Structure 1
Amino acid sequence: MKLKATLLALSAVLLAGMVQAQDGWNWPADPAQEAKARELNAAYTDYMKSEQFVDATHPLNWLLVNVPELNESIYINGVNIYKGAADEVTDAAKKGVYQDSVIAIYEKRGELFNNESNWIENKAYYGYQFYKSDKDKLKGAIADFEKAMELNGTINYQLTAAYFDLIYRNYAYNKAYTGEEILAIHDNIQAMLDAEAAKGTDVTNQKGTLEQLMVAMELIDCDFIENTMGAKLKADPTNEVLADQIFKYSVQYKCFSSSAFLQALEIKHAKEPSFSTSQVIAMRYMQEDQSEKAEDMWNQAFTLAENPTQKSDAKMELAKIYAKQGKKSAARAAAKEAAELDNTKTSDVYSLIGGMYMNSFNDCKGGESRAKDYSIYIAAYNAYQRAGDSQGMANARARFPSREELFTEGLQVGGTINTGCWIGETVTLATRD
């Protein structure tokens, strides 16, 4: 075993020698300089392997200053060494110098080897770690993240939270962005996470952090949703991601009266129709006096209902719409259907019907028989009675025909008469006196 270990160690030494002899090593032409460079290269490597990072910085610094084009490895290793040194020391000033050196090494590497796309993300993340609390230096880390996206089209999904945290801090420290700019950055990151999620990756934590930071910026309120996000959705009504965001924020901040919320809800409903979405859309249409649209949406709600109570709700709302449109027969039929589906609505249903009867006098009076004309109030009384509406009953009774009016027409209390008109009910005659 000892011999095997010795052979392995010897192989490692030989391999190291071979690596240094290969192309890419630019040893100084001067023999003395070459000897010193080889000595210090070996020295810093030994210190690095034994994790003596502060000690490793001294020979490495000579190489970086005097033979900067020696080999890319001094920059690759240099990052680890200066980061290790920064972690090793407790003095804040020294720690800052070592951290700055990490960034400087990356910048020099970029000048000499022109391969930033391979490591720019790492530089950006070190910048985040080092400078996130420095209102001036954090801008460099942001620029590096943006350079990474420029070069590679994206960044590692695990770094998205760090990047947006820098955006949050830059906004908090420097008021560096408008709300629209932050939303654009947010949307870009969201798209990256969605692309990663499509591969099967769990990005729940990253998305959660993104939303927490967005909320912490206190940019979002009803005005922002309507005028900023809503304007963007109007310009691109196919943007389902934005529609989902508007819907979510509108619910979170209780911004239900905005046109942006309505448009987002319409998009959401078109994609995933449900009773709840059709219900809310229909209610919004009614608020805006768009009764035909509301009628169509409540009909959709009825077909999408998951239980009799929801079906009853839809029919009751349709009854109200029909009543408002003057479609009284249709309103009554829909209301009665609502009561059949859910008997807890019986009171509301018959109060609605009683109200329609009461408001039909001018439409139904023939002018030939006061008993017949006023019989609709008896029908209204009966409806209110079924509803348990004592106030409605009293109002209706006050409009009954008088005994004298019945006598004049040869009629008497207890007899029957048909109201005619759309009401079409046969009622038992009664008087107000």
Structure 2
Amino acid sequence: MKQILLTAALAFSTVFAHAQCAGWNWPEDAAMRSKAEEKNVLYTDALNAENFAGAQKHHLWLLNNTPNLNTSIYINGEKIYNGLIDGATDEAKKNIYIDSLLLLYDMRMEYCNEKQEVVARKAYAAYRNNVKKPGELKNILDLFKEAHELNGNDLPDYMLLPYMSVVYYNVKYLDNLTPDQILEYYEGINEAIDYKISNESDASKRAKLEDYKNKIDGFFVQIFKVDCAYVKEKLEPRFRANPTDIKLAKTIFKFMLEGKCTDDPLWLDAGKVIAENDPSYGLFKNLGLKAKASGDNAQAEELFNRAMEYAQTPQEKSEMYMQMGSMKSEAGQKSTARELYKKALAADPNAKEAYTRIGYLYFTSYEQCRGGEDQVKDRGVFLVAYDYFMRGGNGSAAGDAKEQFPSKEEVFTYNYNSGDNLSIGCWIGETTTIRTRD
């Protein structure tokens, strides 16, 4: 079959070169037109009945005699040969069908003058059918590379993960790529998927792309040792020579984050370039975390607020409020911290850790809030802390708070009853119910 189709391609290359297949290009000869119309009906009827072998014979006549008849003969040809491939039990015959399918894409590109989309389809078909054949891996990678060059960041979504997996298989089975080549492929794929994620408004589709991205990273780290030494030796000189290279800046930023060498000025320099050209939630979050770790809370707060501007989900927004709340808590600004934790809950009601954080703010306020005249009132901070720990699902912390409840004797002594409402003053301003530790 491969030889028959190849013969057709060569025979008509001079006659139909640069032809278009958008309309119906019936033969001018009446007898040939009648025959072509008959074959078109016969193969489509067989295809609709999923009789792929029956469709193939009539379809082949059209390929040999009217290869620029209409784009539909190539679209339907894919269906025919995919059906034959899936149904083949003989490996040799299956390989013939695969070769024929791939040649079909070549014919479509030649006779219909379609390449950008078709080469991507050919690359994926080659991947789907030949990826387990080591001898085909280099050819498949070349097809993906060509498709990427033609489509740029608009490379179809379904190509992204297979593309990186082909890079992985080439390294694993053929050992035919240098570290620089691996990095170049990875950067290109990563740039495309980042572009798609940033331009995708559908949350479910964006989540799927994020999943692809994580899996692509998984392939990459198996074949490329990500370390700071490589970044400093190989990537920093490139970056210093061209400090506006956003793709390289992203790679450096990510590698140094994973390599835990973010103290190096190069990491911040790369982050600044990204922030100027392609700001994102993840970027400002990581820069904010770095500023927080270094004790620069003012800078961290500014960066966390910038991160919220680009948050895509309620969870992301809530996380930034939690980070800012923890800074205020560490600084002793308990009331401000509580408000930030409440904002985290408002953004994402499932962020139950915020309840626990508020609980600890109350739990640690005993010395600050006790008046020394009423033990029940003084220990009210533990009662309200318990309430918040329970709302956060933190049984262990709730148990610690319960141990600090007033005793039955104290409740009796200060003229209270278990179950009475108790107003907690100080900065807390909450109402709770009296309970005892015994």
How does the TM-score come out when normalised to structure 2?
A: 0.53
Greater RCO, CA 8 A, separation 6+? 2
Q: 1:108: which partner in 2?
A: 107
**8 Å Cα contact 2:25-2:69 kept in structure 1:** yes
Q: 1:227: which partner in 2?
A: 233
**8 Å Cα contact 2:141-2:163 kept in structure 1:** yes
CA distance in 2 between counterparts of 1:301 and 1:55 reads: 68
Distance 1:181 1:29, change over 3 A: same
Q: 1:98: which partner in 2?
A: 97
Q: 1:175: which partner in 2?
A: 175
Query: 1:178 deviation in Å?
Result: 2.3
Counterpart among 204, 212, 220 of residue 214 in structure 1: 220
List aligned pairs for 1:1-400, cutoff 5 A.
24-27=24-27, 29=29, 31=31, 33-153=32-152, 154-199=154-199, 200-201=201-202, 202=206, 203-239=209-245, 242-243=248-249, 245-254=251-260, 260=266, 272=284, 276-278=289-291, 306-307=327-328, 309=330
Query: 1:51 deviation in Å?
Result: 0.6
CA distance in 2 between counterparts of 1:248 and 1:40 reads: 57
CA distance in 2 between counterparts of 1:209 and 1:30 reads: 56
Give the secondary-structure state (helix, strand or coil) at the position aligned to 2:134: coil
Query: 1:168 deviation in Å?
Result: 1.8
Query: 1:47 deviation in Å?
Result: 0.9
Distance 1:25 1:245, change over 3 A: closer
CA distance in 2 between counterparts of 1:112 and 1:301 reads: 59
Q: Cα deviation per residue 1:341-377 (whole Å; 9 max; x = unaligned)?
A: xxxxxxxxxxxxxxxxxxxxxxxxxxxxxxxxxxxxx
Find the structure with the greater CA-based Rg: 1
Query: 1:204 deviation in Å?
Result: 0.7
**8 Å Cα contact 1:226-1:259 kept in structure 2:** no
Which runs of 5 or more residues in structure 1 are unaligned? 1-21, 283-296, 312-433
Distance 1:204 1:274, change over 3 A: closer
Distance 1:194 1:299, change over 3 A: closer
CA distance in 1 between counterparts of 2:118 and 2:190 reads: 23
Query: 1:111 deviation in Å?
Result: 1.3
Alpha-carbon RMSD across the aligned residues, in angstroms, is: 3.8
**8 Å Cα contact 1:262-1:281 kept in structure 2:** no
CA distance in 1 between counterparts of 2:247 and 2:114 reads: 35
Distance 1:95 1:308, change over 3 A: same
Counterpart residue type for residue 189 of structure 2: I
Q: Cα deviation per residue 1:46-88 (whole Å; 9 max; x = unaligned)?
A: 1100011122112222322233343332222111101111011
**8 Å Cα contact 1:226-1:258 kept in structure 2:** no
Give the secondary-structure state (helix, strand or coil) at the position aligned to 2:182: helix
Query: 1:300 deviation in Å?
Result: 6.8
Which runs of 5 or more residues in structure 2 are unaligned? 1-21, 277-282, 303-323, 333-438
CA distance in 1 between counterparts of 2:291 and 2:249 reads: 16
Query: 1:281 deviation in Å?
Result: 6.5
